[in-house]
Structure formats: structure tokens, C-alpha cells
Amino acid sequence: MSSEFPVVIYGASGYTGRLVAEYLREYNVPFIAAGRGKERIEEAMAKVPGIETAKYEIATADMEVEALTNLFRGAKVVCNVTGPFVDYGDIVTEAALNAGAHYIDTTGEQPWVKRCADHWDAKFKEAGLVCAPSTAYMYATSEIAAQYALETPGIDTLDVLVLFKGIPTYASTQSFYSVLQHEALYLELGDLKPWTPGTSFEVPIPSEVMTALALPWGGMSHPIWFQRDHRVSSVRAIGGNHSRELMQFVLSATEEFEKDIKPLPADEQKRILSEKADAMQGGMPPRENRREHRTIDIVRGRGSIARSDVTIHGTCAYLQTGLLQAAAAFHLVNAPPFKTGFASPCEAFGHRELYGALSEFGFVNMEIS
């Protein structure tokens, strides 16, 4: 592939891949819109606002290491937007490493983030490359809040709450169901511990009179990121959608998994979970609306006597994700990452820089107290 195109979006035909293309265009970064089907990629690119002014090419390759290595050769950055990442992440990551490209993705799946930390960290470090999963709304925006909280000396404990409005896409729904097979972990005094399945919390929403139902949501990425940060000993992260109906459905899916599906062999579990996800979300949700699809990311930081509370009011979780991917890719096209090997988005690209990108595009507003 030509090095005129330093970024490859793999999964460009999807809802989020299309948004990554939209913001790469805003950053004037030439890219290859790639995936397994040319027609679907063409259809997706045709819907990108202003696409006529973007410099891009379309390329296809199947989800297979050799084909993807050839596709990525010559690129500086791979933006992987194909989930579930517990299923496909290793293939795309290996191909990026083979091709000598940095790897970023949009996962919200804790087991995949842990896999990057445990398996891919040393290999990417040795190659001088970054592997930064979760460079996405879930959970980079709340990581930004956590990094600001940690600027207060003495903070060692983080409670994270992520709340968004919106309809999960097909692959997001598949991702949610696929993590049910894995333990959801939190960090307590330096050790990762499993949440009790079915744990839920009734949480206040700072800007509303109502409360929301929040769940550990697979454990989220923060416990894995902050286990490697000497300042932090404990992290509990929970999240949810503003729709109580959806959250109650998610909670009952977790309970059903524990009771009826977990006793079955792993392959059978996977098949049933995938079918359930198919039944729940088959189509493409509409483009987000800034006045409707709002987000709130809250971090409460504690030390023995130190305290820092950070709240980020924002909008459009998927649009934020497209922008975060493009801002990270723009950084990598122009400069080395702040950290190589496995890194959180803020470690790789800077919390001030990522906050700057989100706020400059009008997506977020932060309050610190």
C-alpha cells in the first residue's frame, strides 16, 4: 500500500468507521477506508459529510493476518473498528505489528484491553510502536476526567461513572454480549478482583433530578490502565445508558447468562450470546443528535484526605469516538506517541491534548471541584 495514505481504518463500512473517516477529513489526514466488502465501504464513504474534499482510497482484505499485513504495509497507524475485539483483536493487532504500524482501536471490552496489556505490550514496545485500545468515548473521555483528578496530589482511589444516551450499534451489541463470558474486574489496593455478577447501582445524575441504573458493564478499561499507574491503588468503574429500559434489559441478560448459559461449553455459550445480540440489534442506528444523545462522565478521586471531583458534560458518544480516533491518528502521523507498548489513550496522546480536541469540536465541557 502507498505511504501517501498514512492511516488505515479497518472496519470503514461500519457506523463508527464512517465517523473516523469524517474526522480524519477534518484533520486533513489521507486515509485508506478498508474492510471486507468494497460495496459496503463505498456506501459508507458516500455518507461522510464533505467526503468529496477528503484524500482517501478504498481497499479490501479479509480478517486474516497475512492479508491485513499486506494491507497495512506502508501505513503509520491502524484504526481498528471491527468488534467484538475479543474475537478479532489479535488478528488485526498482529498484522499492524508485522507491518510496523501503530495500533489504536475503539474497544470497550475489558478482556481485550487486558489481553493488550498482558500479551501485546512487550512486542509493541520492542518495535517502538504504541498499542492503545479503547481510544473511544468508552472509555477515553472518563479517563481524561480521571487524569485531571490525579493532578491533585494524594489521590489514589478513583470511582468512575459513565452515562450516555443512544442506541448501541450492531457490533457494540455483539461486543456487550461477548464480554459476558469473561469476569468483570475492578482494582482494589493494587489487585484486580471480580465484580459479583448481577451487581448494579442506583446513581444520581448531577444535572438531573432523576437517578440512573448503572452496572460494571464488563469491568471497563480503567482498572487495567490504572493498575500500571503507581499513583493509583483502587478503581471502580461503572456505566450505563440513560434508558432505564435498556439497562434493565442488560441486567437481565447478565442474570440469564449466569443462570442458563454459563453452565454450557464455551463454544455453545458464544453461539447463544451472538444469536441474542443479533436478535437485539440488526440495523444501523441513525446519526446522533447533539441535543438528544448527551453524555456525562464523572470521576470522584480520593486520597486519605485529598479529594478531587471531575465531571465532563458532553454529547454524542459515537461522534466523540470518531474524533478521538482521528485526533490520535493525527498525533501519530506527525509525532511519536508519548508512550510505546500498551498505553491508555491519555498516556499515548495526553489528557490535555485529547480534552482539547473534544472541546475544540464542541463535544465536552469539564468542571473540576
**In the sheet that 56-60 helps form, which strands lie side by side, from edge to edge?**
56-60, 31-35, 7-10, 77-80, 102-105, 130-132, 341-342
Residue with Cβ nearer ligand NAP (18 or 76): 18
The label of the residue with cell 474492510 reads 35
The three cell numbers locating residue 202: 442506583
Q: Which residues pair with 163 in a beta bridge?
A: 240, 296
Based on the shown chain and the rule CB under 6 A, indicate whether residue 234 belongs to the binding site for ligand NAP. Answer: no
Closer CB to ligand NAP, 6 or 83, in the complex: 83
Rule CB under 6 A: choose which of 6, 7, 8, 13 binds ligand NAP: 13
* CA angle at 141 for the pair 222 and 198, rounded to the nearest 5°: 50
CB nearer to ligand NAP: pick between 61 and 235:
61
- Decide if residue 23 touches ligand NAP (CB under 6 A): no
Whole-angstrom Cα distance, residue 181 to residue 176?
A: 10
**Contacting residues for 301 by C-beta, under 8 A, at least 6 apart:** 146, 149, 150, 152, 155, 157, 158, 307, 308, 309, 310
Candidates 6-14, 67-75, 155-163, 341-349; binding stretch for ligand NAP (CB under 6 A):
6-14
The residue among 155 and 160 lying less far from ligand NAP, judged by its C-beta, is 160
Q: Is 220 in the site for ligand NAP (CB under 6 A)?
A: no
14 binds ligand NAP (CB under 6 A): yes
The least CB distance from residue 188 to ligand NAP, in Å, is: 24
Residues across the chain: 369
Give, as ranges, the residues between 137 and 196 that touch ligand NAP (CB under 6 A). Answer: 137-138, 169-172, 175
- Contact indicator for 221, 126 with CB cutoff of 8 Å: no
Please say which residue, 41 or 158, places its beta carbon nearer to ligand NAP. 41
Is the preceding peptide bond at 206 cis, omega within 30 degrees of 0? no
Q: Which residue has 504495509 as its cell numbers?
A: 73
Site for ligand NAP in 39-58 (CB under 6 A): 40
Cα–Cα distance, 68 to 76 (Å, whole number): 14
What kind and span of H or E run contains 173? Answer: helix 170-179
Least Å from the CB of residue 126 to ligand NAP: 27
Bridge partners of 312, per DSSP, are 297, 366
Q: How far is the CB of 321 from ligand NAP (least distance, A)?
A: 4
Is there binding between residue 93 and ligand NAP (CB under 6 A)?
no
Applying CB under 6 A, the span of 30-38, 263-271, 303-311, 328-336 interacting with ligand NAP comes to: 30-38
* Exposed e or buried b per residue across 296-333, where buried means at least 16 C-beta atoms within 10 angstroms of its C-beta: bbbbbbbeeeeebbbbbbbbbbbbbbbbbbbbbbbbbb
Q: Assess 69 for contact with ligand NAP (CB under 6 A).
A: no
Contact call for residues 36 and 62 (beta carbons, < 8 A):
yes
Q: Does 299 bind ligand NAP (CB under 6 A)?
A: no
Stretch touching ligand NAP by CB under 6 A, among 29-37, 249-257, 341-349, 358-366? 29-37
Residue 82 within binding range of ligand NAP, rule CB under 6 A = yes
Decide: is 16 part of the binding site for ligand NAP (CB under 6 A).
yes
d(CA 320, CA 361): 9
CB of 329 to ligand NAP, least distance (A): 15
Least Å from the CB of residue 207 to ligand NAP: 21
Q: How far is the CB of 366 from ligand NAP (least distance, A)?
A: 18
Q: For the chain, report the end-to-end CA distance as a whole number of angstroms.
A: 49
| Cβ closest to ligand NAP, residue 29 vs residue 317 | 317
Q: Does 81 bind ligand NAP (CB under 6 A)?
A: yes
- Residues in contact with ligand NAP by the rule CB under 6 A: 11, 13-17, 35-37, 40, 63, 81-84, 106, 108, 136-138, 169-172, 175, 317-318, 321
